[in-house]
Structure 1
Amino acid sequence: MVTSTRAAFLSFTALMVLCLTATLARGGEYAEVTDNGYGAVATVQPRATEAAMNAYAAGGNAVDAAVAAALTLGVVDGHNSGIGGGLFAVVHWSDGRVEAIDGREMAPAAAHRDMYVREGEYRPELSKRGPLAVGIPGSVAALDYMMEKGGKASLARHLNAAADLAENGFAIDGIFARRLKRHTEDLSAYPGTAAIFLDAQGQPWPVGHRLKQPDLAKTYRAIAEKGGSYFYGGGFAQTVGQWMEHNGGLITREDFADYELIRRRPVVSEYRGYSVYGFPPPSSGGVHVAQMLNILEGYDLSALSEANRYHLLAEVMKLAFADRAYWLGDPAFAKVPKGLISEAYAQTLRARLSLEKTTTVPDYSTPPKAQEELFGKHTTHIATADKDGNWVAITSTVNTNFGSKVVVPGTGVVLNNQMDDFSAQPGEPNAYGLIGAEANSIAPGKRPLSSMSPTVLTREGKPVLTLGAAGGPTIITQVLQTLINHIDLGMGLEDAMRMARVHHQWRPNELFVEKTLVDPIREALKEKGHSLRQLGDYGSTQAIGLDEQGHFVSVAEPRLEERNRVE
């Protein structure tokens, strides 16, 4: 098991380097505030930010801006997100309520725990590529709901605007071109995918090629005209279901028709006078950000040396990810204890930590009332906010680059490979090296566990910060470190996001560090017992906050510009 986990994690390091730089474009802005100060947006793609600003200019609010950005990312950033995938959103509505909107993918009705076993052997590639890797997408349902509840325009307007871009095309940048080149072999295995992303000779499109996606535009326009029913049970679902039937998949038209959007109560915790609203299970992000903040609140982080602070962060991450591996899953199928975010449990875990050396974490811990008090039944992040009080955090994904690599001919939609986020075989690592248990095993209609961590903070009842990140399991630790740097160390948002990051996910027992972490701190961490592994620079966090005058401060991942210059 140790060997397979380490091998998966080594592939994870390469995957992170590829996925986390996959959303750059040249020119334009990643984060903007409207001229009149009404609204703000931060995304990973200038065209998506532009779409959000256009939505504001047309009289829309933060909900319009977020939905416009999400649909545009499905055109220009389709290797990371789109309507063939799913999303989690935490929204602070203008009336003061906070809601968690679950548009996570679902397993088809015919799914079962041994669907990736052939002749008694687990075949992990089947959950990563091809028809069996696909879960029922939820993004369309979630975006439709958001617009119905709080948008000023219509979903159709934003769909048609994104369809225009898909039809007219956009110039491929160097990073998109390299993603195509790296995945050419997998993309070529599916005619519908190859027809879009490869030329007539089966070669990836080069930098500067104007990528036009008429089939995606057609699908967007059909949803705009006929509504979500076209996607869920109508023409789109029928086309996908027929393709699956002829290509060894399990998904049917009925699976689409049975998809259920879930409105959940956010995970709410208190930290240094802030109320922190995170996403509940089947996200692990909200639970474990809250769990780690609870432990850290017992320390004066600003008084610690930098080495001790990084050490403490690593130790807290290790404890949280050990619990994640055992307890977390879809609450409709697994018993996920609310005690994970209790102060009493935080005190128990805090007592195990030492500032002088690493702590051995052989297994998960058990929170209080673990069987009684339960939660109810490559990625990109969008942050928007407006002066009416709408603050939106959306994290959207098709999972790894180009998801399952499947585009059903005629649809133009990249389908996710979210089934790999289940514990396809409990105890075996997934594409990100994460270990899972029975709580996240495959079952019909179940939603796979996620690390997505859309987060909104309020102070004295007023929203003051929205943030989230991309990057597999590092999403959770990126959000944690941004909050610590901003709240405890008093850094501005950009500086808080620019600080060197570390990441520990329990298995394997290694601490990831960015290349910018200086040697004296590295040596101090090694002396405390940490085994370090460098992962270049990683992560893609987006955030919006307020300055001292109450004006919006919108910040996109600072590493994006540097990576762009490197290209």
Structure 2
Amino acid sequence: MQRIIKGKSYYASLASILLASSVFLSCVGNHLGKNNSGEFRNGMVVSANALASEVGIEILKKGGNAVDAAVAVQFALAVVYPNAGNIGGGGFMVYRSAKGETNTLDFREKASAAALRDMYLDASGNPIVEKSLYGQLAAGVPGSVAGMEEAHQKYGKLKWEDLIEPAIHLARDGFKLTARQANELNGLKTRFTKLNPLGTALIKDVKWVEGDVLIQTELANTLKLIAQEGRKGFYEGPVADFIVAEMQRGGGIITKQDLTAYKAIWRKPINGKYRGYDVVTMPPPSSGGIALIQLLKSVESYPLTRWGFNSDSTVQVMIEAERRVYADRAAHLGDPDFYPVPAQKLIEDSYIKQRMSSFNWQTASTSASVSAGEIAPTEHEETTHFSIVDRDGNAVAITTTLNGSYGAGVVVKGAGFLLNNEMDDFSVKPGAPNMYGLVGGEANAIAPGKRMLSSMTPAILSKDGELFMVVGTPGGSTIITSVFQTILNVVDFNMSMQSAVSAKKFHHQWLPDEVAVEDKALDSLTTVKLKSKGYKLVPRGAIGRVDAILKTKWGYYQGGADPRGDDKAVGW
């Protein structure tokens, strides 16, 4: 406790200091290790919020490694980015050491032991959408705290409590809202009021405005317990009592036994190659890793560089690859602890070649004609991603989520954090779409203790034994295609990291049979050519919020922070 009090003056002023970020970053620019191109030698953090990115950099400067910084950033995001940063959700971590060791950590949420296969269906067997999206019953057992402790115990260097200290102060002393955050909170006031009759710090009598200070005292107290007791401070004791009481208030089913039984799991990474680059990414229950490798292999034989970025030929082959990969996702992917996922078969070269063999340049395939491949006999878009590299070259890619923006909309009274609505990521009814329009089958059906399928795709690329890229994004079903396009933008189209992240994107996911296109992603001629072949192009808003780091051939770190949000890349 003495350490926390001693650090108060520093961390209490952190938020106000960072509001003058342009001044701060001009100072950072004079540090040894930065070249004239805005690239950094000693480390980098790219996250959805400038405050969280600065917290991570401070940990690196104090001698912490990438995992230490990741823990600090995760808890800081739980305070300053409440729509997706969390301690009430879960996620995945991809790790690569400076020596090339790789590992992946699954801290995805789980269904309660009381979960039932048909728990969100009405008497006629039809999905009751509201039940899996909002309120206490929509929540899975959270995994973030257990995941961060597991990562720290295996790879961390600094003291656990020191890593959570910045988040405690940001919650207790408050931070200033961005214009985007103020608008979000105002827009959700009715929902928050309905779902939180006992009140929450996220509700204000008058409208929130940019610059308002959000103080979260209950969350600060929860973070103190986690700092002092580790996972026990969350999954046991007062916080567990608050969670169970919240369940009882709103018809939820998570119990103390569910909480104490939760474990984060180290899993064997999914590995693949693309044009000489080694790709390491998440295995199931992430669908993203397998899908990403499938997509890369599906387009590798085509001359994308010659065709050019977002040309009609480039876009067409990418759409057809996406159509087939998302069909496979629906049929074959789920929690490997409950379902025999044919992971290696799905990424075999011969299988992928066979899947692309039905592709016809003259006309669009129809999703009705593209079923999942024969292997063997029998996510709203508010996730968040951050990428970190330390001075030694250790790298971490972490994607975490509450599922929908601000999760289930329920703040645990007394504990101050939002519950996730991850139960909607299960196939509530095989063949019925979830909130992202994703369709699933038996592999992702609800079962007690099961982890729901995810599209999260944290990934790390290397070449010839050297780190090359750390990448990931939020975006629900668009996560996989956004990471895919960002990699192609760098490898095939020779973009800088920031340009690759900022580039306009498109997305196809098998069903519905349409291509979502960001404004100005495709020029008029490309649009005409694709439509003439039968592709249905549908305009939509921003796709993804990629946060990525590229290591240049000169050994500098180059950040890409997505301009679609308040994201920030900070290096030193």
Both structures adopt the same fold (TM-score exceeding 0.5): yes
Q: Which residue of 1 aligns with 2:177?
A: 172
Identify which of 253, 274, 278 aligns with 2:277. 274
Q: Identity rate of aligned residues, in percent?
A: 37
DSSP-derived class of the 1:540 partner: coil
Matched, 1:408 2:406: no
The Cα shift of 1:402 comes to: 1.0
1:186, CA displacement in angstroms?
A: 1.3
**Aligned position for 1:81:** 85
Q: Choose from 251, 271, 292 the match for 1:248.
A: 251
Tell whether the 8 Å contact from 1:453 to 1:468 is kept in structure 2 after alignment. Answer: yes
Q: 1:562 to 1:52 in 2, by over 3 A?
A: closer
Instruction: For residue 91 of structure 1, report the CA deviation from its aligned partner.
Output: 0.4
Tell me the equivalent position of 1:428: 432
Q: Alpha-carbon deviation of 1:303?
A: 2.0
Equivalent of 1:148 in 143, 146, 153? 153
Query: Contact 1:28 / 1:47 at 8 angstroms: preserved in 2?
Result: no
Q: Is the 8 A contact 1:404 1:417 kept in 2?
A: yes
Distance across 1 between alignment mates of 2:402 and 2:198:
15
Preserved CA contact (<8 Å) 1:380 1:395: yes
Instruction: Give 1:160's aligned residue.
Output: 165
**1:367, distance to aligned residue in structure 2 (A):** 4.7
Where 2:364 maps in the other structure, the secondary structure is: coil
Label 1:562 to 1:90 Cα distance change in 2 as closer, same or farther (>3 A).
Answer: closer
Task: Give CA deviations for 1:320-350 in whole Å, capped at 9, x if unaligned.
Answer: 1111111111111122112111101111012
- Cα displacement string for residues 336-384 of structure 1 (whole angstroms, at most 9, x for unaligned residues): 112111101111012111233211232433254566xxxxxx1111000
Q: 1:480 maps to which residue?
A: 484
Which one of 260, 265, 270 corresponds to residue 263 of structure 2? 260
Inter-CA distance 115–365: structure 2 relative to 1 (3 Å threshold): closer
Aligned position for 2:372: 365
In 2, the alpha carbon distance for the partners of 1:250 and 1:93 equals 39
- Is it true that 1:505 corresponds to 2:502 in the alignment? no
1:345 matched to 2:338: no
Distance 1:234 1:304 in 2: 60
Q: Is the partner of 1:80 in helix, strand or coil? A: coil
2:387 equivalent to 1:383: yes
CA distance in 1, matches of 2:230, 2:148: 12
**CA separation of 1:370 and 1:299: change in aligned 2, threshold 3 A:** farther
TM-superposition CA deviations, 1:370-400 (whole Å, max 9, x none): 66xxxxxx11110001232311000011111
**What CA RMSD, in Å, does the superposition of the two structures yield over aligned residues?**
2.1
The alignment partner of 1:112 has SS state of coil
Report the Cα distance in structure 1 between the residues aligned to 2:21 and 2:377, rounded to whole angstroms: 49
TM-score (norm 1): 0.90
The CA deviation string for residues 124-147 of structure 1, in whole angstroms up to 9 with x for no partner, is 100000011000111111111111
- Take 1:51 and 1:561, find their aligned partners in 2: how far apart are those partners? 16
Give distance in 1, aligned partners of 2:545 and 2:451.
Answer: 24
Q: Residue 125 in 1 paired to residue 118 in 2?
A: no
Q: How many residues align?
A: 531
Alpha-carbon distance between aligned partners in 2 of 1:146 and 1:275, rounded to the nearest angstrom: 23
Rounded to whole Å, the distance in 1 between the matches of 2:374 and 2:98 is 35
Q: Distance in 2 between matches of 1:47 and 1:277?
A: 29
Equivalent residue for 1:545? Answer: 550
SS at match of 1:317: helix
What CA deviation, in whole Å up to 9, does each residue of 1:154-173 have, x standing for no partner? 22112122110111101122
Counterpart-to-counterpart distance in 2, 1:248 and 1:349: 45
**Secondary structure at the counterpart of residue 506 of structure 1:** coil
Q: For the Cα contact (< 8 Å) 2:430–2:439, is it kept in 1?
A: yes
CA–CA separation in structure 2 for the residues paired with 1:145 and 1:93? 16
Decide whether aligned partners of structure 1 residues 361 and 142 sit closer, same or farther in structure 2, where only a CA change above 3 A counts.
Answer: same
Determine if the alignment matches structure 1 residue 287 to structure 2 residue 294. Answer: no
In structure 2, relative to structure 1, the CA distance for the partners of 1:492 and 1:204 (3 Å cut) is: same
Matched with 2:454 is 450
1:135 alignment counterpart: 140
Cα distance between partner residues in 2 of 1:448 and 1:340: 19
User: Separation in 2 of the partners of 1:468 and 1:561?
Assistant: 16
Deviation at residue 559 of structure 1 after TM alignment: 3.6
Q: Distance in 1 between matches of 2:375 and 2:258?
A: 38
Structure 2 residue identity aligned to 1:537: A
2:362 pairs with one of 319, 333, 356? 356
Separation (CA, whole Å) in 2 of partners of 1:141 and 1:192: 29
- 2:466 pairs, out of 453, 462, 467, with 462
Give the Å deviation of 1:535.
Answer: 1.0
Structure 1: stretches of 5+ with no match in the other structure: 1-24, 372-377
CA distance in 2, matches of 1:418, 1:440: 13
SS of equivalent residue, structure 1 residue 196: coil
Q: In the superposition, relative to structure 1, how do residues 156 and 124 fare at CA in structure 2: closer, same or farther (>3 Å)?
A: same
SS of the aligned residue for 1:64 comes to: helix
Whichever residue aligns with residue 454 of structure 1, its letter is P
Q: Structure 2: which amino acid aligns with 1:279? A: M
Q: Verify the 8 A CA contact 2:136 2:246 in the aligned structure 1.
A: no
The structural deviation recorded for 1:59 is: 1.5
Secondary structure of 2:115's aligned partner: coil
Q: What residue identity is the alignment partner of 2:452?
A: P
Quote the residue 1:237 is aligned against: 240
Q: CA deviation at 1:193?
A: 7.3
**Cα 1:547–1:516 shift into 2, 3 Å:** same
| Greater displacement, 236-245 / 78-87 | 236-245
After TM superposition, the structure 1 stretch with the greater mean CA deviation from structure 2, 232-241 or 121-130, is 232-241
**1:216 maps onto 2:216 in alignment:** no
* Residues 193 and 470 of structure 1, relative CA distance in 2, 3 Å threshold: farther
Task: Confirm or deny that 1:554 pairs with 2:564.
Answer: no
Shift of residue 82, structure 1, vs aligned partner: 0.6
Q: Distance in 2 between matches of 1:56 and 1:450?
A: 30
Report the alpha carbon displacement of residue 35 of structure 1 after superposing the two structures with TM. 4.7
2:231 to 225, 228, 231: 228
User: In 2, distance between residues paired with 1:327 and 1:368?
Assistant: 8
Distance across 2 between alignment mates of 1:295 and 1:342: 11
Secondary structure at the counterpart of residue 457 of structure 1: strand
Q: Which residue of 2 aligns with 1:533?
A: 538
Partner of 1:28: 21
Q: Whole-Å Cα distance in 2 between the matches of residues 92 and 48 of structure 1?
A: 22
Aligned to 2:57: 53
Q: For residues 268-298 of structure 1, what are the alpha-carbon distances to aligned partners after superposition, in whole Å with 9 as ceiling and x for unaligned?
A: 0111111111101110100000011111112
Q: Is the 8 A contact 1:482 1:497 kept in 2?
A: yes
Give the conservation status (yes or no) of the 8 Å contact 1:87–1:138: yes
Measured in 2, the distance between the counterparts of 1:68 and 1:193 equals 30
Mapped contact 1:26–1:173 kept (Cα < 8 A): no
Is the partner of 1:197 in helix, strand or coil?
Answer: coil
**Mean Cα deviation higher: 107-116 or 494-503:** 494-503
Give the 3 Å change call, closer, same or farther, for CA 561–188 of structure 1 in structure 2. closer
The residue number in structure 2 matching 1:198 is 203
Which of 115, 119, 131 is equivalent to 1:115? 119
| Aligned counterpart, 1:22 | none
